Copies of this chain bind each other. A is one copy, B any other.
């Protein structure tokens, strides 16, 4: 079943004479992953959950710009992908706790590398955008 990319060591093997197998884009796990995490909130939730488990409204308050609808959708998608675990606690007012699965924790590492880059170079991007606007 998973023959398609089983033997692929890395899509970023720049030394290859041929470019990346972009024809198989839809089947490519890289593009796939990015499209899942590429939405507005997934990565933020992952990062938040990486620090400690959170309850629903805890996440809601922490992100603060997200709607209930999107928070639910995001967290459910992450759960379906096996990155987040959802646990309903049998308390009197029902509580739901979200946490990272082991798989989700491993994702946190490369994610942090990218986030770190963004923090370090974010200003340069903003600057580039501003200068572009001026030169127009």
Using a CB–CB cutoff of 8 Å, the interface residues on chain A facing chain B are 2, 5-6, 8-12, 14, 16, 19-20, 22-23, 25-26, 29-40, 43-44, 47-48, 50-52, 62-65, 79-83, 103, 106-119, 121-129, 132
Select A110's contact among B103, B107, B114, beta carbons within 8 Å.
Answer: B114
Most buried by B among A22, A26, A113: A22
Chain B residues with CB below 8 A from A108, complex form? 12
Partner among B50, B51, B62, B83 whose Cβ is within 8 Å of the Cβ of A125: B83
Docked Cα-Cα span, A8 to B116, in Å, equals 10
Offer 6 A-B interface pairs, CB within 8 angstroms, sorted by A. A10-B112, A26-B65, A30-B115, A30-B119, A34-B43, A35-B40
Interface of A is mostly: helix
Known: A33-B122, A47-B11. Contact between A117 and B107, CB under 8 A? yes
A30 x B118 contact (CB < 8 A)? yes
